[in-house]
């Protein structure tokens, strides 16, 4: 309440007074859009409209707010988030957010609809190009950075799509079945980080159901977790068309339905309040949240123009930083070639963004062929189309490319995954390039050993069929309007590649963790892989991949030395700092991304082998050494425990892993954590004997009985009965195995087999022990 009053004073509006002056009809209307892109104004009370526009990597401002599919006003098309994430550069990402806000201000946009932080559960998701990573920590850090950049200029961001929207197949209705721990650790963590670290003005709900309830009506997600637990103070907006029941959505915590107008929705809300099925106090809360954002937006005048040249240069820089050099036998950087054969229609028709709601009308586009030729000096640069625009196969185009490649010093193939394979609205059916593109790479590589493949795609592609045919592979992603120039800079060494993968590139589709639960059936999809998506899965399976998470080559090399932690034993609330010295051991200036993973040596619940918990990107001159220090907090060592309903730490040893990628670990440091948590007792009638002994209170009250059980078991199964006569029961199993078996049985079941030594029924004993354990204070 205090913060809300401070905000109201800042824009000289008393929100509560405004709400009290509004009619019921005005309140209901405010909670639904006035058009496709605006909120409902109330002129009588001086409540202005608020304008929103699609993002997330550019401003898609419609000239007419009542239109949804018209050509948008010119704006800078930045690289999509798959490329931005590969920069691992939060400062650069924040700068991108600032520039996006400047364009919003010039184009009269109050809230930009982005970023998207959904996890890359499968490479087949057609919208993966809009999302950051398979890792929630990296996604959350990058999302917080861009939100902070946008909102630093007085423009709002909209964090989306909340939650578990990880496929396009049946995205309007699919029921996502996911357990609580997986939801918390994998699919909500990035949202949580962004909400707490950046305080976005709005959060957009997703279309799908989560465990049986539409996200737009999901009280658990929208109210209990987002608003109450995380302290979100902004408004919750629907994805466009995501609301099925307006009254149920308001009850669930969805404040603003889009698009509008929706006269029937407004009437439904009015009738629900009048009939008593919707409390007006609940409607008022949504009205307050909307008004707060409307008036915050009003504080930034939306006028002026933006510097298109400067913004284009930033888009080019981000593209260059996000490109990942996947393979290089030494052919790159190119050094004074005499003849370059440029092959592939993407060289002249750049594939720099994805299809759907994020499609930007760019201010200009750098054409890869033109930019390459401009940097090639006196070299002859020739061109062959290589592959058609559609999915047909043309041997003639391949033959022409081969003829050209034979006569050149180097062949550069620009290979773009076509829009008919990858876009918002539908998922990919496979991970492959087109049949023509694969055959083209193989044919050119067979006659030209200096073949370089440049990829434009939003998500991993299978490479096993053709990667042996080329000397180098540069992953350029959907590179934004400046990407054509960035590619040329990397190829000629003007920019030293420094991007690293924010997602694993598997060898084949059947290797991927979600493959047997994709895309679902009968209206539901089960997240059966649980916590184990991306590198977490490949670690657990010890499975080889094409390129691992965090991987990327450079034109220089880096050495890691003097790794240390600020403490060897530490309390969870204190955290610790990891430091390592990085030296550029090559001959070129370059940037390295240092990654810190945490491995729990022993835990009560299954955990992934390692998880990313920190990173830093630094630039070094040849021979230069710098110390990188990365803090690790409570959450770096915690996991979500569904029985306790909270994040928990446990006493024990952890390995802090410092690496250049998820598989290139340079140093491992053992530390010991001391948990400060005082957890409640969660034992119940079905708790196993192991669970009793793992709980401090349970162990205290059960301990004496446990000793008796152990002695009795030893007499019966381990050697002699109570008369001293040797018995044969269980000799083959062994005493240890018998106790292990019993330890995984509910305590009441164990006692049932010990009834000869009991003075009361097993159920009564367990009830008594539970009362003692739950009341005990340790």
Residue 729: predicted pLDDT = 47
* 213-214, strands of its sheet edge to edge: 213-214, 209-210, 175-177, 524-526
Residue 454 φ/ψ region, left for φ over 0, alpha for ψ in the -120 to 50 degree band, beta for the rest: beta
CA distance 51 to 111: 7
Task: Yes or no: say if 563 and 530 are a contact pair by the CB < 8 Å rule.
Answer: no
Residue 3: predicted pLDDT = 45
Residue count of the chain, please give it. Answer: 778
Residue 82: predicted pLDDT = 98
CA distance 458 to 323: 12
Spatial CA neighbour of 118 closest among 254, 215, 52, 212:
215
CA distance 430 to 425: 16
CA distance 411 to 774: 72
Tokens of 610: 């390692």
Residue owning tokens 């929103």: 52
Task: Yes or no: say if 311 and 363 are a contact pair by the CB < 8 Å rule.
Answer: yes
CA distance 453 to 324: 12
Q: In terms of DSSP H, where are the helices of 641-695?
A: 689-694
Residue 708: predicted pLDDT = 84
Block means of pLDDT (10 residues each) for the chain, length 778 residues? 45 87 98 98 97 97 93 97 98 98 98 98 97 98 98 98 97 98 98 98 98 98 98 98 98 98 97 98 98 97 97 98 98 97 98 94 98 97 97 97 98 96 94 98 98 98 98 98 98 98 98 97 98 98 98 98 98 98 98 98 97 98 98 98 97 98 98 96 94 92 87 69 47 66 91 82 94 89
Task: Yes or no: say if 663 and 551 are a contact pair by the CB < 8 Å rule.
Answer: yes
Residue 734: predicted pLDDT = 62
- CA distances 248 to 214, 218, 256, 452, 624, Å, are 10, 9, 13, 55, 60
CA distance 761 to 749: 11
Residue 559: predicted pLDDT = 98
Tokens of 266: 């407004």
Catalytic residues: 239
Residue 611 CB coordination number (10 Å): 23
CA distance 269 to 278: 8
CA distance 572 to 671: 11
Tokens of 344: 């592939």
Spatial CA neighbour of 556 closest among 497, 509, 505:
497
Residue owning tokens 């605006």: 38
Largest CA distance in the chain: 102
Residue 116 CB coordination number (10 Å): 27
Task: Yes or no: say if 200 and 218 are a contact pair by the CB < 8 Å rule.
Answer: no
Tokens of 43: 């002129």
CA distance 205 to 229: 17
Its sign, for the CA torsion 660, 663, 666, 669, is: positive
CA distance 143 to 618: 20
Return the axis-axis angle of helices 263-275 and 280-298, rounded to nearest 10°: 140
Query: pTM to 2 decimals?
Result: 0.95
Write the CB contacts of 434 (distance below 8 Å, at least 6 apart in sequence): 387, 391, 418, 421
List, in sequence order, every residue forming a beta bridge with 256; answer none if it has no partner: 237
Residue 4: predicted pLDDT = 39
Task: Yes or no: say if 462 and 511 are a contact pair by the CB < 8 Å rule.
Answer: no
Residue 242: predicted pLDDT = 98
Its sign, for the CA torsion 45, 47, 48, 53, is: negative
Tell me the HSE value of 703 on the side-chain side, using a 13 A CA sphere.
Answer: 8
Residue 435 CB coordination number (10 Å): 12
Residue 733: predicted pLDDT = 53
List, in sequence order, every residue forming a beta bridge with 593; answer none if it has no partner: 617
Task: Yes or no: say if 302 and 105 are a contact pair by the CB < 8 Å rule.
Answer: yes
């Amino acid at each position: 309440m205090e913060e809300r009053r401070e905000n109201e004073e800042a824009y000289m509006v008393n929100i509560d007074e405004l709400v009290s002056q509004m009619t019921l009809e005005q309140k209901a209307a405010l909670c639904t859009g006035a058009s496709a892109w605006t909120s409902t104004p109330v002129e009588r009370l001086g409540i202005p409209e608020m304008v929103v526009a699609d993002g997330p990597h550019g401003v898609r401002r419609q000239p007419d707010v009542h239109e949804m599919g018209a050509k948008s006003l010119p704006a800078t098309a930045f690289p999509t988030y798959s490329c931005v994430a590969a920069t691992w550069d939060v400062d650069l990402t924040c700068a991108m957010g600032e520039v996006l806000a400047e364009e919003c201000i010039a184009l009269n946009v109050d809230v930009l609809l982005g970023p998207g932080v959904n996890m890359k559960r499968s490479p087949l998701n057609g919208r993966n190009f809009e999302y950051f990573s398979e890792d929630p920590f990296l996604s959350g850090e990058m999302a917080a950075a861009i939100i902070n950049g946008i909102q630093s200029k007085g423009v709002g961001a909209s964090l989306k799509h909340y939650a578990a929207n990880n496929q396009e197949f049946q995205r309007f209705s699919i029921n996502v079945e996911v357990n609580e721990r997986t939801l918390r650790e994998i699919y909500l963590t990035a949202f949580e980080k962004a909400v707490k670290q950046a305080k976005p003005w709005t959060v957009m709900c997703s279309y799908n159901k989560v465990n049986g309830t539409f996200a737009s009506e999901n009280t658990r997600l929208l109210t209990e977790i987002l608003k109450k637990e995380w302290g979100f103070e902004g408004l919750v907006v629907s994805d466009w068309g995501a609301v099925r029941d307006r009254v149920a959505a308001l009850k669930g915590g969805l404040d603003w339905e889009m698009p509008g107008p929706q006269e029937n929705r407004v009437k439904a809300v009015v009738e629900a309040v009048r009939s008593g099925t919707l409390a007006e106090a609940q409607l008022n809360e949504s009205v307050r949240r909307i008004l707060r954002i409307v008036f915050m937006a009003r504080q930034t005048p939306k006028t002026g123009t933006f510097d298109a040249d400067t913004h284009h240069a930033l888009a080019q820089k981000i593209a260059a930083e996000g490109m990942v050099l996947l393979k290089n036998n030494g052919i790159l950087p190119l050094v004074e070639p005499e003849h370059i054969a440029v092959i592939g229609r993407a060289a002249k028709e750049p594939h720099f963004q994805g299809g759907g709601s994020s499609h930007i009308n760019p201010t200009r586009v750098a054409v890869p062929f033109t930019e390459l030729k401009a940097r090639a000096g006196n070299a002859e640069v020739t061109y062959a189309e290589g592959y058609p625009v559609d999915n047909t196969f043309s041997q003639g185009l391949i033959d022409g490319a081969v003829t050209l490649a034979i006569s050149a010093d180097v062949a550069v193939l620009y290979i773009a995954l076509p829009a008919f394979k990858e876009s918002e609205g539908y998922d990919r059916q496979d991970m492959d390039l087109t049949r023509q593109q694969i055959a083209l790479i193989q044919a050119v590589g067979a006659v030209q050993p200096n073949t370089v493949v440049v990829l434009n795609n939003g998500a991993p592609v299978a490479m096993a069929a053709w990667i042996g045919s080329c000397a180098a592979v540069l992953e350029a992603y959907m590179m934004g309007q400046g990407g054509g120039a960035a590619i040329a800079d990397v190829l000629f060494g003007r920019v030293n590649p420094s991007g690293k993968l924010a997602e694993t590139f598997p060898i084949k589709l059947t290797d991927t963790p979600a493959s047997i639960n994709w895309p679902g059936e009968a209206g539901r999809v089960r997240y059966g892989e649980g916590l184990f998506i991306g590198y977490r899965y490949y670690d657990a399976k010890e499975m080889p991949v094409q390129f691992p998470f965090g991987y990327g080559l450079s034109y220089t090399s880096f050495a890691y030395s003097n790794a240390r932690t600020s403490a060897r034993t530490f309390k969870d609330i204190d955290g610790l700092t990891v430091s390592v010295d990085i030296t550029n051991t090559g001959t070129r200036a370059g940037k390295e991304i240092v990654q810190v993973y945490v491995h729990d040596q022993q835990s009560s619940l299954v955990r992934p082998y390692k998880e990313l918990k920190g990173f830093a990107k630094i630039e070094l001159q040849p021979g230069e050494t710098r110390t990188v220090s990365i803090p690790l907090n409570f959450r770096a060592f915690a996991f979500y425990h569904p029985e306790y309903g909270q994040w928990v730490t446990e006493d024990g040893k952890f390995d802090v892993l410092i690496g250049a990628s998820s598989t290139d670990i340079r140093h491992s440091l053992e530390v010991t954590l001391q948990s400060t948590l005082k957890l409640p007792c969660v034992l119940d009638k079905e708790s196993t004997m192991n669970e009793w002994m793992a709980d401090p209170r349970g162990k205290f009250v059960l301990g004496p009985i446990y000793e008796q059980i152990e002695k009795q078991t030893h007499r019966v199964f381990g050697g002699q009965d109570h008369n001293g006569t040797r018995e044969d029961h269980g000799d083959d199993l062994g005493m240890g195995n018998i106790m292990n078996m019993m330890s995984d049985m509910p305590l009441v079941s164990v006692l049932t087999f010990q009834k000869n030594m009991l003075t009361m029924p097993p159920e009564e004993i367990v009830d008594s022990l539970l009362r003692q354990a739950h009341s005990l204070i340790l």
